[in-house]
Amino acid sequence: MPWGKTNYQRFFPSLTWQVEPQIPRVLAECGEGARIVDLGAGGRKISPRTVCVDFLPLSNTDLVADVQRLPLRDDSVDAVVATGLFEHVEDERALIAEIHRVLRPGGTAHVEMPFLQQYHDDPIDCRRMTVPGLALVMEREGFETVRRGVHIGPTVTLVTLGAYYVALLFEGRNVVCKALSTGAFLVASVLAWPLKFLDRFLVGKPSAHRLAFGIYYTGRKR
């Protein structure tokens, strides 16, 4: 699945902002020599040594495969990263089981997924989880929690859903309605774009997870 927007919205101001990006932290903890697998990489390359897995042969894809049936040996990987993937698979427990299988004992699993994000099929969109809910399913499948939390905050939730709501008001099947809806989304995005930076002050608050746009979990294989 391509990383980022591939339609006309890629020209619009982005309403998403990660206050606390977790990928650099995970990479630093793994070290330079670690064998890292990025599931559903979508064409990105988070480090030179990372093995990028996707079901499409995109620009940086090293391995085209079903993430629920990985062609990798047991206990062969130091870290697995899966961001924006869990909502797009049919069976998240099969995916977690595969992550657990290919990781060496003590290996790192890092997952990021939406909580209050709008529906976005790529090619399907099946689920959302809370911070404790994601931790629960990972622990149940054999992981020990290192940390968990919010990396995309509540203001992003409000401005993004607000832009989609405004666009929905003008939505219709004819060309005029589609143009009005797209224009409304663009105007709302331009006006709301600066507000997302308020999350700098909100993401660390105890109740931020209740309105989070994106959550994360980092754990180790027991």
Token reading at 148:
């968990």
Predicted local distance difference test score (pLDDT) of residue 2: 58
Tens digit of each residue's pLDDT (9 = 90 or more) over 42-65: 899 999 989 999 999 988 999 999
- Say yes or no to pLDDT of 186 above 90: yes
Are 85 and 68 in contact by the 8 Å Cβ rule? The answer is no
Residue 204 phi, psi (nearest 5)? -90, 0
Query: What integer pLDDT is reported at residue 10 of this predicted model?
Result: 72
- Tell whether the torsion through CA atoms of 41, 109, 198 and 164 is positive or negative: positive
Q: Give pLDDT, residue 7.
A: 60
CA atoms within 13 A on the CB side of 187: 10
Average pLDDT over every residue of 89-113: 96
Burial class from Cβ neighbours inside 10 Å (0-12, 13-18, 19+) for residue 13 reads middle
pLDDT tens, residue by residue, 197-214: 999 999 999 999 999 999
- Judged against a pLDDT cut of 90, whether residue 183 lies above it is answered with yes
Provide the pLDDT confidence category of residue 73 given band limits of 50, 70 and 90.
Answer: very high
Task: Give the C-alpha separation, 216 to 200, whole Å.
Answer: 17
How do the domains of the chain map onto residue ranges? 8-153+202-221
Q: Note the CATH number of domain 8-153+202-221.
A: 3.40.50.150
Q: Do residues 166 and 150 touch, judged by C-beta distance below 8 A?
A: no
Task: Kindly tell me the burial class for residue 176, based on how many C-beta atoms sit within 10 Å of its own C-beta (0-12, 13-18, 19 or more).
Answer: exposed
**pTM for the full predicted model:** 0.92
Q: Which helix (H) or strand (E) holds 38?
A: strand 36-39
Instruction: Specify the amino acid at residue 3.
Output: W
Q: In the structure, what pLDDT confidence band is assigned to residue 95 with cuts at 50, 70 and 90?
A: very high
Average per-residue pLDDT for the chain: 94
